């Protein structure tokens, strides 16, 4: 019994080392992404910004833990590009984005239209559009406006709504979906 237990433990350690090497060498995650149920080994987010020309393809969560250095990179990527202000992005929003992306089974990165917004930017946008909330969750780093070329607003919204973890806004005329980690609700058409 002891020999078998030792052999199994050795195999487990070896498999763990191999798995860590694979994750480092080729950052992908399994199709068994269990959003907010503790499943899955890694979480990944892929985005690009048409405004800045920057892109991001990164794993931000491994084996139940967020990676602080990567979250800082995401905070910078999702900054208010109008003012240059960087703010912490709520990881729950990233989880919704990653889970919706996985549910849609796409490899295309999201186009980020808006992540964090400073109060000044939010006020300026409100003066030009009725669709900008006075107390927008963008100002707390809890929302993102996203687009995919390969999926419709309806497909993206249904995937985000399937997560049942926050707000989902459909902006069909402007061709984007709002995802946030606030109360579960949906709007738009």
pTM, rounded to two decimals: 0.78
The region, left, alpha or beta by phi > 0 then psi within -120 to 50, assigned to residue 17 is alpha
CA-to-CA dists, residue 121 to 54, 65, 82, 114, 136, angstroms: 20, 32, 7, 11, 11
Q: Is 56 or 23 the better-scoring residue by pLDDT?
A: 56
Domain spans in the chain, listed from the N-terminal domain onward: 1-29, 31-188
Structure-derived torsion over alpha carbons of residues 176, 119, 53, 72, reported in degrees to the nearest 10: -110
Instruction: Give residue 134's pLDDT band: very low, low, confident or very high (50, 70, 90).
Output: confident
Look over the chain and give the mean of its residue pLDDT values, rounded to a whole number: 84
Alpha-carbon distance of 24 to 185, in angstroms, equals 37
Q: Given pLDDT bands bounded at 50, 70 and 90, which one contains residue 58?
A: very high
Count of all residues that appear for the chain in the document: 189
- Give the pLDDT band of residue 40 (cuts 50, 70, 90): low
Tell me if 159 sits within 8 A of 103, measured CB to CB.
yes
CA dist 158 → 22, 27, 95, 119 (Å): 32, 26, 16, 29
pLDDT above 70 (res 147): yes
Task: Tell me how far apart the alpha carbons of residues 172 and 161 are, in angstroms, rounded to a whole number.
Answer: 16
Picking from 87, 71, 68, 69, the residue whose alpha carbon sits closest to that of residue 79 is 87
Q: Return the number of other C-beta atoms located less than 10 Å from residue 15's C-beta.
A: 10
Q: Class assignment of domain 31-188? A: alpha beta
User: Average pLDDT for residues 89-118, to the nearest whole number?
Assistant: 96
Helices (H), the chain: 2-25, 68-77, 91-104, 119-128, 153-162
Mean pLDDT of 81-93: 97
């Amino acid at each position: 019994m002891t020999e078998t237990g030792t052999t199994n433990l050795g195999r487990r350690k070896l498999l763990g080392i191999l798995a860590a090497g694979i994750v480092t060498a080729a950052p992908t995650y399994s199709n068994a992404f269990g959003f907010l149920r503790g499943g899955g080994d890694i979480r990944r987010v892929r985005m690009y910004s048409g405004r800045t020309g920057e892109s991001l393809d990164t794993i931000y969560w491994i084996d139940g833990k967020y990676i602080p250095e990567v979250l800082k990179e995401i905070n910078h990527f999702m900054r208010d590009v109008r003012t240059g202000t960087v703010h912490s992005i709520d990881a729950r929003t990233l989880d919704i984005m990653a889970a919706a992306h996985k549910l849609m089974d796409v490899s295309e990165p999201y186009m980020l239209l808006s992540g964090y917004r400073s109060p000044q930017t939010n006020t300026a946008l409100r003066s030009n559009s009725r669709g900008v909330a006075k107390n927008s969750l963008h100002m707390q780093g809890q929302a993102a406006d996203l687009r995919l070329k390969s999926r419709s607003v309806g497909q993206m919204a249904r995937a985000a709504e399937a997560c049942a973890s926050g707000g989902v806004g459909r902006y069909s005329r402007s061709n984007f979906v709002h995802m946030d980690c606030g109360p579960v609700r949906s709007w738009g058409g």
